[in-house]
């Protein structure tokens, strides 16, 4: 695959690093940046033969098979429209749009053009996530009832993130998009998200957008997806997920305290990990950042999907649904009420209702709980099927 990258900043360099880190058949042949200096520097750093300050020129390059968008959120729509007009497959970083309306325009453009649209949601491709998702789909933890996803760090690298107009919001649009999609995967993408309750506040920074938020997303089957996001968390980047099911539980720690720890007095001033705040004291490096953050598996899935003419694990439709959920979260943060999620084009299951399982113990009772006490005695907490009385035997 011959690729063009739009953008020369932090995320584009992460993408390029994952693409050139090992021997691969996929190569970057062109790069766009708003400034010639940055475009040239990126081209030199990654051995890219062509660079440009024109999106149109970069996208329409005859050598380019697919385009990777690593631009600020306000430029996603413009870039995708250019790719669709040129008939080029396009992969876009998260979030797909600043709003659901913008994301829907992006989705419509690629579907009308008949080109591939891949949503670059890297945290849905981390090795731990993929193995956990396979376990959930295999039924290892039963029916998922509650998920929790947390992403917190000291704040973004680029200035545009802090500009509400360019980014579309604050920590919710930046980090909540990850958390929401992680929960959707575990609960089931075919299950419709119904409504959101969200708290958000600007607690630390001199910005118009929120730097902290907590939200609950309610699904049609009764499951709850919880997200926790912050731009003021101190100590690095904290990526954690929990999945609770009727038959089991999964805990994931993707970045901090993953079993790799070191102490340093600070000599050498070496890079530790993304968002690390110190290079001295006890440190928590990451062995292979692009792999642990999901970039390797993500691009493998994307390019394989293009070659085999199938949908990727994360599509532009997924990006649209995420934006719709976040729109409701922002509205709820203002109204302080549960807010309905508006989805104009739902493609999953319809008519799903909340499930309440009742396990029969015998003809008279439902089983609520079974346990063994310290003395070895087995006891049962039961519910009478007729009267509803709770008893212990």
Same domain for 45 and 73: yes
Residues 49-80 as b/e (b if ≥16 CB within 10 A, e otherwise) read ebbbeebeebbbbeebebbbbbbbbbbbbebb
pLDDT in tens, 1-45: 999 999 999 999 989 988 887 657 899 999 999 999 999 999 999
Which of 122, 148, 164 is a domain's end point? Answer: 122
Compute the distance between CA of residue 128 and CA of residue 340 in angstroms, rounded to an integer.
32
Q: What is the mean pLDDT of residues 237-246?
A: 95
- Percentage, residues of the chain above pLDDT 90: 81
Looking at the DSSP bridge assignments, the partners of residue 152 are 230, 238
In the predicted structure, residue 275 carries a pLDDT above the cut 70: no
Looking at the DSSP bridge assignments, the partners of residue 89 are 66
Helix (H, G, I), strand (E, B) or coil at 83: helix
Compute the distance between CA of residue 9 and CA of residue 15 in angstroms, rounded to an integer.
10
CB 264 within 8 A of CB 149: no
pLDDT of residue 384: 92
Same domain for 147 and 105: no
In the predicted structure, residue 144 carries a pLDDT above the cut 60: yes
Q: Give the strand pairing for 27-32 and 50-52.
A: parallel
pLDDT in tens, 85-128: 999 999 999 999 999 999 999 999 999 999 999 999 999 999 99
> Could you tell me if residue 38 is inside a domain?
yes
Same domain for 62 and 136: no
pTM: 0.92
Residues 6+ apart with CB under 8 A from 55: 6, 32, 78, 79, 82
Task: For residue 248, give both structure tokens.
Answer: 């089991």
pLDDT in tens, 334-346: 999 999 999 999 9
Same domain for 41 and 144: no
CATH number of the domain where residue 265 is located? 3.30.360.10
Compute the distance between CA of residue 383 and CA of residue 388 in angstroms, rounded to an integer.
6
CB 368 within 8 A of CB 382: yes
Q: What is the mean pLDDT of residues 251-277?
A: 78
Domain range holding 386? 359-392
Same domain for 323 and 217: yes
Between 285 and 389, residue with greater pLDDT: 389
> Could you tell me if residue 168 is inside a domain?
yes
Number of domains in the chain: 3
Same domain for 365 and 269: no
CA atoms within 13 A on the CB side of 37: 0
Compute the distance between CA of residue 244 and CA of residue 94 in angstroms, rounded to an integer.
26
CB 177 within 8 A of CB 284: no
Compute the distance between CA of residue 191 and CA of residue 176 in angstroms, rounded to an integer.
19
> Could you tell me if residue 307 is inside a domain?
no
pLDDT in tens, 355-393: 777 889 999 999 999 999 899 999 999 999 999 999 998
């Amino acid at each position: 695959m011959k690729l063009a990258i739009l953008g020369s900043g932090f995320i584009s360099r992460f993408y390029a690093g994952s693409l050139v880190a090992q021997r691969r058949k996929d190569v970057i042949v062109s790069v766009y940046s708003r400034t010639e200096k940055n475009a040239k520097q990126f081209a030199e750093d990654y051995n890219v033969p062509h660079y440009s300050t024109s999106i149109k020129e970069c996208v329409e390059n005859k050598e380019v098979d697919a385009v990777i968008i690593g631009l600020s959120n306000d430029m996603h729509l413009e870039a995708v429209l250019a790719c669709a007009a040129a008939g080029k497959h396009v992969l876009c970083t998260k979030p797909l749009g600043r709003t659901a309306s913008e994301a829907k325009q992006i989705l419509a453009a690629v579907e009308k053009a008949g080109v591939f649209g891949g949503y670059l949601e890297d945290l849905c491709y981390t090795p731990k996530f993929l193995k956990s998702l396979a376990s959930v789909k295999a039924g290892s933890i039963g029916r998922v009832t509650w998920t929790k996803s947390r992403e917190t760090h000291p704040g973004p690298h680029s200035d545009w993130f802090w500009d509400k107009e360019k980014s579309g919001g604050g920590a919710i649009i930046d980090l909540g998009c990850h958390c929401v999609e992680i929960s959707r995967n575990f609960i089931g993408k075919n299950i419709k998200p119904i409504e959101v309750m969200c708290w958000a506040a600007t607690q630390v920074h001199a910005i118009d957008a929120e730097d902290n938020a907590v939200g609950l997303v309610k699904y049609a089957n009764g499951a709850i997806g919880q997200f926790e996001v912050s731009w003021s968390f101190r100590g690095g980047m904290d990526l954690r997920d929990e999945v609770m099911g009727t038959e089991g539980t999964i805990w994931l720690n993707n970045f901090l305290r993953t079993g790799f720890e070191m102490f340093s007095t600070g000599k050498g001033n070496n890079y530790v990990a993304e968002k690390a705040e110190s290079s001295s004291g006890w440190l928590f490096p990451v062995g292979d950042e692009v792999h642990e953050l999901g970039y390797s598996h993500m691009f493998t899935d994307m390019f394989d999907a293009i070659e085999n003419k199938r949908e990727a694990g994360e599509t532009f439709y997924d990006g649209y649904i995420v934006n719709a959920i976040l729109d409701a979260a922002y509205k709820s943060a203002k109204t302080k009420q549960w807010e309905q999620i508006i989805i104009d084009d739902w493609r999953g299951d319809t008519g799903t209702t909340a499930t309440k399982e009742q396990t029969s113990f015998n003809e008279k009772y439902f089983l609520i709980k079974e346990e063994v006490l310290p003395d070895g005695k087995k006891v049962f907490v039961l519910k009478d099927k007729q009267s509803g009385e709770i008893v212990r035997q």
